[in-house]
Chains A and B, each alone.
Chain A
Amino acid sequence: MAHFDFQMPVTEEQARKLRVNDTVTLNGTLYGIRDATHIHMFDRGRKTRFDLRGHALIHTAPNVRWAGESEAHPTGYAPICIGTTTSDRMERFTRPLMQEYGARIIIGKGGLREGSAAAFRELGGVYLAVIGGAAALETTWIEQIEDVDLDDLNPESLWKFRVKGFGPLLVSMDSHGGSLYTEVNAQARAKRAAALASLGVKND
Chain B
Amino acid sequence: MSARPSITKPELKQAPGGHTSAVLSGGVAVAAIAFGVALLSEVAGTDAGSGEMTDLAAVLEGLLVLSPWAWSSVGVYAVVLTPVAGLVVTAWEFASVGDRHTVVLALAVIGVLMVSALISLLR
- A and B together in one complex: no
